[in-house]
Amino acid sequence: MIIKILKNPITLFVSIILGIFVGIFFKESSKSLSIISDIYVNFLQMCILPIVACIIAINFSKISKGKSKKIIKKWIILVFVSFLVAALISILSSIFLKKFLEPSPDTKLAFSEIDGDKTVNSKFTELKFYSNNEIDETDNFSLYTFLINTIPNNIFSALSNGDVVGAICFFSILGIMLSKVKTKVSSNLLEIFDVIYNSLNKFVTIILNFSPISIFCVLAVQFSDPNKVTLIKSLIKLIIVMHLIFFTMIVISFIIIQKKINLTIKEHLSAISHTFFISIATRSCMASIPTAIEDAKKKLKLDETISNFTLPIGITMFQSGGIISAILATTYTCMIYDVPLGFNVIFGTILGSILYAFSFIGAPSIVAASMLSGVLGPLGLPSDIISAAWVSVLSISDPFLTFQCIYTNIAIAASLSSKAKTT
C-alpha cells in the first residue's frame, strides 16, 4: 500500500511542492535533511558505474555480432545531428534575443561583486617580480586531450576514481572482444555481467520507490540556500532564455518519440514522469540512467537492445545540454566584452561547445563552469567572470539541463527503434 502511494506520480508532484515550500520557509531545519538526500543520491551513484559497465559489455557483445553495425553508424549521425540542432537553436536565440539578453549595468555590478564582501585590495593577485616566474599558458581543452583522457591507462584506478568515460571505453572493448572469443567461458562471463546488472537494477528499483521522500529532502535543502540570490536575479533573463532552449529541445524530442510510440500524449507524459522527476530532483544525468532505461524500455516500449546500448553511453557522453550552456555562456561573454558575433566567433563557439560537451561528462556544475575557459580561451575571451557566474546559472538550470540531456537521448533511441507494435 505504502509502495503504491510512493510510486504514484501525484505523490512525486506533492513532494516537489512540499520540498520547495519547506526549503523556502524553514531554512534552518531544511539543512539537516541533506543527510537523507545525500544517502539517497549516494545509493544511486553507487550502482551507476557497475550498471553502466555491465550494460555496455553485454550490449556491445550483442551489437558487434553483425546486424547492428548500421545502427551504431546511424546512432553516431543522430547524436551529431542533435548536437547541431542544439547549437543552432542556441546561436539563433542568442542572435535574435540579443537586446533582451544584453547585460544591464546592474548585472555588470553583480558580476563585479561575485567574490562577495572581499576588500578591493584582497582581490588583487600578489606576485614576486624577482623570483623565478614561469611562462603561464593555459591548457585549453582539445580533441587530443579528450582522446587521451578517454582511454584509461589503468582500468582499476579508473573504476576506483569513478571515471565513467574510461569505464565505458574499457567495457565497450571488453564486450566486443568477448563476442569475438567464442568459448563457453566468454558467454558465461557475459551472463555474469547480466546477473550483476539485473541484481543492481532490482536494488535501484527498490531505491527509486523512495524517490518522493528523497526528492522532498533534496529540494528542501536546495531551496534553503539563499546565496547568490542577487546574481541569479540579475541573470534571470539569461536563465529564461536557457530554459526556452531546453524547452524547444524537449518539444522536438517529444515529437520524435511520439511518432515512434503507440501511446497517447497523456500516456507518453505519464511514462516519462518518473525520469522527469528523478532528473529534476537529483540533477544528475548519471543518477537518472537506470530510471531512464526502465522508462524507455518498459513504459515507452522502445527497443530493449537499443535502449540498453544507447542510453547509458548517450546520457553519459552525449549531453547536448552542455552545448546549449556553453554557447549561451560564450555569446553572453561576447555581449559583456562588446565582441561582435561574426562568422568566426559563431563557428569557433559551435566547435568549442561540442568539444566542451565531451569535457562536461559527469562533471558537477562547478567543474563544468570552470571548463568554459576551453571554449572562451581560443576565442580570446576572458572566462573568469562568466565561469564564476555560471556556477549560479547552472545551480538553477541544472534540473532542466539534466532532463533535456536524458530526453534527447531517449529521442535518439526512439529514432533508432522500429515503430512499436500496437498493444
Partner 1 sequence: MKKKIFSFVLTVMIICFIFFNPKITALNKSLKSEFPKYNNIEIRENVLSQDIKSIKEKGYLTVALYGKDRLGFFENKDSDLKGFEIDLARKIANSLEVELKFERSSQTYDGLVDLLILEKADIIISTFSATPNRALYLAFSNPYEELRTGVMLSKKYLAANKIEKNPIEHLKNYKTKLCVQKNSSYSDTAKKLFPLSEFVEIEDTDLAFEMTKNNEVDGFFSGELEFVEQSIKDPILSIYTKTYVFSDINDNFCIALPKKSTEFMNFINICISSFKKTTINEIEEEYKNIFNKKESKE
Longest dimension (CA), the chain: 78
Per-residue string for binding with partner 1, 290-329, x by CB under 8 A? ----------------------------------------
Restricting to residues 166-185, which ones interact with partner 1 according to CB under 8 A? none
Taking the C-alpha atoms of residue 149 and residue 151, their distance in angstroms, rounded to an integer, is: 6
Per-position DSSP letters for 390-422, written without gaps between them: HHHHHHHHHHHHHHHHHHHHHHHHHHHSPPPPP
How far from the centroid of its chain's Cα atoms is residue 2's Cα? 32
Residue 116 sits in the site that holds partner 1 (CB under 8 A): no
Options 140, 145, 150, 258; binder of partner 1; rule CB under 8 A:
140
Taking the C-alpha atoms of residue 298 and residue 251, their distance in angstroms, rounded to an integer, is: 22
Other beta carbons less than 10 A from residue 335's beta carbon: 17
How many Cα atoms occupy the beta-carbon half-sphere of 350 within 13 Å?
A: 20
Identity (one letter) of the amino acid at 290? P
- The least CB distance from residue 347 to partner 1, in Å, is 18
Residue (140 or 199) nearer to partner 1, CB:
140
Mapping DSSP to helix (H, G, I), strand (E, B) and coil, where does residue 104 land? Answer: coil
Which segment (5-13, 62-70, 122-130, 156-164) binds partner 1 by CB under 8 A?
A: 122-130
Residue (130 or 156) nearer to partner 1, CB:
130
Q: Are 148 and 154 in contact (CB under 8 A)?
A: no
DSSP E strand boundaries for 156-314: none
Residue 342 sits in the site that holds partner 1 (CB under 8 A): no
Which segment (7-15, 181-189, 203-211, 373-381) binds partner 1 by CB under 8 A?
A: 373-381
Residue 134 sits in the site that holds partner 1 (CB under 8 A): yes
Options 129, 144, 156, 343; binder of partner 1; rule CB under 8 A:
129
Options 123, 182, 184, 266; binder of partner 1; rule CB under 8 A:
123
Residue 117 sits in the site that holds partner 1 (CB under 8 A): no
- The least CB distance from residue 108 to partner 1, in Å, is 5
Residue (162 or 380) nearer to partner 1, CB:
380
Q: What is the CA radius of gyration of the chain?
A: 22
Restricting to residues 382-401, which ones interact with partner 1 according to CB under 8 A? 382-385
Residue 381 sits in the site that holds partner 1 (CB under 8 A): yes
Residue (127 or 185) nearer to partner 1, CB:
127
Q: Which residue has the cell 555560471?
A: 390
Residue 1 sits in the site that holds partner 1 (CB under 8 A): no
Other beta carbons less than 10 A from residue 58's beta carbon: 22
> Residues binding partner 1: what is the number (CB under 8 A)?
37
Taking the C-alpha atoms of residue 309 and residue 289, their distance in angstroms, rounded to an integer, is: 12
How many residues make up the chain in this entry? 423
> CA distances (Å), 388 to each of 103, 229, 294, 372, 394, in order?
16, 14, 36, 10, 10
Residue (124 or 156) nearer to partner 1, CB:
124
Options 219, 334, 375, 376; binder of partner 1; rule CB under 8 A:
376
Binding site for partner 1 (CB under 8 A): 105, 108-109, 111-113, 119-131, 133-138, 140, 336-337, 373, 376-377, 380-385
